[in-house]
Structure 1
């Protein structure tokens, strides 16, 4: 009986739940900020008398969260390969949750002037550091308890976290927007979404603290094979895998930023639709992703993962050219259908993505390599996307510039998939032979 087979179904399900719930809670924090940046933070923290300038400033702090991720990837990714997955994931959850809670009590520009923006940026930075260290560990937490032949499905637990967190954050903010007047929401109502983070983090910690370390890391520790300088080893020995991992993530990040963040600004400012309509459309799309992401992960276990990813990337590059003409009439139904189909395409990419990225690295360097690939891609992908969307639309006055940008990122991701590798058959053999579990 192999090491994985000795892990009972209860431990495997608990690992899946811990990965999904913890990541969902952290992405709730991140999504709450993203939605607020697209709708109200410009006027609350960056009042410049120019609506476009305020939105750009708010999206700049959105980008700070992505720019901070590599630091989280460097620090926590290294620790994850040295001291273990579970312990690091407790730290990242606390860091992100505390930062988000503090945003909920932060004075605005009206109260303390420019200092409010400085503090907001600092807390956003802390959020980004936590998220940067979270993803790689959450993926390994679930996938290293399961059969590597089913890695696509088990690793997708962490991938469900973003739409689950986004759905929860959008739902809370949409409910507040409906229950409160615009004046009440802008004055204090938005704070409730951030203050809820304190309760959610306690729940996430309760789940994670009950979980054991993964069998793969235990085996690495038993053999004394933990890396002493994992970051150096990744850059020295696994550069191709790192480049592939970064490029693989670029297009999905940009696509997600377009259809969950910038689309809210586009709907309210260009289509004259209400904020609640925009939030509702994103919520419907995110709800669909809760099912589609693990389904796509499972599908990638049955077909070639890279070929499936290529198909999704091609669809992602084409879809904006269809979406913008479709919603030009301002029809709410057209917007909902357009966003849902965009997030279906994203799910085809995001479901297999965790397994595809981690498979670019050897098990002993997998937390570090995956975290670096994830966070560095966020800088060139998700961090700049809302800013570039806003700037391109303002500069060219047409959605074609935005669609062309997405198409370019799709080409970049295709290159990443082509230089990447398929799963290592030795891992399947190792799964069936405890003595060779980690080579």
Structure 2
């Protein structure tokens, strides 16, 4: 009985770490999505770009939104470097603080009428800070959740990080809808839009309290104790484990493109198909699919702990490629039910079958010494090449095809083939022995252990 309390406490650690990752990631993405949602309402174009015509002002607001994607790789590189040198926890706390300060400042930012041209400049700077914080967030949360997970359950515990994305989207949409419900439209355009930003202060405080109690994993502590942490993690990851970095980039392309095509481009496409009188149908469909994603993500991750990461990634990438043309067929019927079902299948089934086990899959591709840097670089580079531009490219290609989605389908097919090839080339990592203090590279992984599992 004397050992029962410590044993129970040890069993709770993976849950505490994963829940902390979920809370923090949800808050990060709540903050990140709030900007995009409010930009779409035209608030920023009127208050921060008033000298432009409405269309140009809205475009400038979305350009400000897009700069957040530009900053994400820099946040990922910064956090990856110091996360492998100083520890995962400090970077997770710092990323949350950066995002929190930037979001709170947006809620307090004076308008163009008050401070002139400095208003849009500061808005852009704060959006860059949001992007930097978001870029620093993912790999740290994924790595610390995976490293603390019990053997054989890394997929499931790593998926708590992934659940933060649909949860953050739900929370962001809900907060905006709630404020709109209680604040008159005229007041919302003046001050009500600030409320969702200011509410993030409470969320950030909660997240910081939760994350302050985290500890780095035993794997990383062993590296520190042995004084074998990397001197130049980014450089070493590119030199010694570059194969893993590029595999992550390739596997990220179709997954991230699919997410933004279904959550952003589909809203535009549904509005064009259904007409402006049903402008909210696309948003409602995405909300429903996001709610289902909170459940689907951990279920796919659980399955990956049983049959492997690679089979699910191939299922999602191949199935997603084949289903994408059917999305347009179902939406073009003009049926709200079929359009919603198409997005649910695209997101909850094919996208989430890749996204659910992704945290564990990507983290397991790298040694402990370079895990934060390697996973972060691959993930964020893939985000810029795919998710950041996918909706813009799709809209341009739709116009090129005069409303016919053929070019959009071809674009996604090319991306899908790259992801399928990358998943085929990637090793199965489910049974891979966790690295401790060794400095192994992917290219050296030819030794096999029991059941043919690569040993790191």
TM beyond 0.5: yes
Correspondence 1:385 to 2:387: no
The answer on whether the counterparts of 1:273 and 1:330 sit within 8 Å (CA) in structure 2 is: no
The answer on whether the counterparts of 2:152 and 2:430 sit within 8 Å (CA) in structure 1 is: no
The equivalent of 1:335 in structure 2 is 339
The answer on whether the counterparts of 1:238 and 1:361 sit within 8 Å (CA) in structure 2 is: yes
The equivalent of 1:367 in structure 2 is 372
Shift of 1:46: 4.7
User: Aligned pair in 2 of structure 1 residues 177, 375: CA closer, same or farther (>3 Å)?
Assistant: same
1:315 maps to which of 304, 315, 319: 319
The equivalent of 2:239 in structure 1 is 236
The equivalent of 1:123 in structure 2 is 126
The answer on whether the counterparts of 1:251 and 1:410 sit within 8 Å (CA) in structure 2 is: yes
State the distance in 2 between where 1:360 and 1:295 align. Answer: 22
State the distance in 2 between where 1:372 and 1:248 align. Answer: 13
Shift of 1:113: 5.1
State the distance in 2 between where 1:177 and 1:330 align. Answer: 28
The answer on whether the counterparts of 1:177 and 1:276 sit within 8 Å (CA) in structure 2 is: no
Correspondence 1:302 to 2:280: no
Shift of 1:149: 2.3
The answer on whether the counterparts of 2:254 and 2:386 sit within 8 Å (CA) in structure 1 is: yes
State the distance in 2 between where 1:25 and 1:73 align. Answer: 18
RMSD: 2.6
User: Aligned pair in 2 of structure 1 residues 198, 137: CA closer, same or farther (>3 Å)?
Assistant: same
1:290 maps to which of 277, 289, 294: 294
User: Aligned pair in 2 of structure 1 residues 11, 215: CA closer, same or farther (>3 Å)?
Assistant: same
Shift of 1:240: 0.8
User: Aligned pair in 2 of structure 1 residues 134, 268: CA closer, same or farther (>3 Å)?
Assistant: same
The equivalent of 1:11 in structure 2 is 13
The answer on whether the counterparts of 1:293 and 1:347 sit within 8 Å (CA) in structure 2 is: yes
User: Aligned pair in 2 of structure 1 residues 237, 119: CA closer, same or farther (>3 Å)?
Assistant: same
State the distance in 2 between where 1:164 and 1:295 align. Answer: 15
State the distance in 1 between where 2:184 and 2:401 align. Answer: 35
Output the TM-score relative to the length of structure 1.
0.90
Shift of 1:5: 7.9
State the distance in 2 between where 1:364 and 1:133 align. Answer: 18
Correspondence 1:168 to 2:174: no
Shift of 1:211: 1.9
State the distance in 2 between where 1:165 and 1:319 align. Answer: 26
State the distance in 1 between where 2:330 and 2:120 align. Answer: 37
The equivalent of 2:105 in structure 1 is 102
State the distance in 2 between where 1:279 and 1:236 align. Answer: 43
List per-residue Cα deviations over 1:147-197 (Å, max 9, x = no partner): 242211111111011111011001112233344444443333322222111
1:402 maps to which of 392, 408, 419: 408
Correspondence 1:82 to 2:88: no
Structure of larger gyration radius: 2
Shift of 1:15: 0.5
The 10-residue stretch of structure 1 (398-407 or 15-24) with the greater mean CA deviation from structure 2: 398-407
Shift of 1:38: 3.7
Shift of 1:238: 0.8
1:193 maps to which of 192, 196, 208: 196
1:357 maps to which of 346, 359, 362: 362
The equivalent of 2:445 in structure 1 is none
Shift of 1:426: 5.5
SS in 1 for 2:227: coil
User: Aligned pair in 2 of structure 1 residues 370, 430: CA closer, same or farther (>3 Å)?
Assistant: closer
The answer on whether the counterparts of 2:76 and 2:376 sit within 8 Å (CA) in structure 1 is: yes
The 10-residue stretch of structure 1 (21-30 or 419-428) with the greater mean CA deviation from structure 2: 419-428
1:326 maps to which of 327, 330, 338: 330
Shift of 1:393: 2.6
List per-residue Cα deviations over 1:376-412 (Å, max 9, x = no partner): 1111011112222232233333233333322222112
State the distance in 2 between where 1:210 and 1:275 align. Answer: 44
List per-residue Cα deviations over 1:225-257 (Å, max 9, x = no partner): 111111110111111111001111111111111
List per-residue Cα deviations over 1:3-55 (Å, max 9, x = no partner): x989712211100110111011001111112223344356334564363x555
The answer on whether the counterparts of 1:7 and 1:145 sit within 8 Å (CA) in structure 2 is: no
State the distance in 2 between where 1:63 and 1:275 align. Answer: 22
Aligned residue pairs, count: 430
Output the TM-score relative to the length of structure 2.
0.87
The equivalent of 1:222 in structure 2 is 225
The equivalent of 1:137 in structure 2 is 140
User: Aligned pair in 2 of structure 1 residues 196, 224: CA closer, same or farther (>3 Å)?
Assistant: same
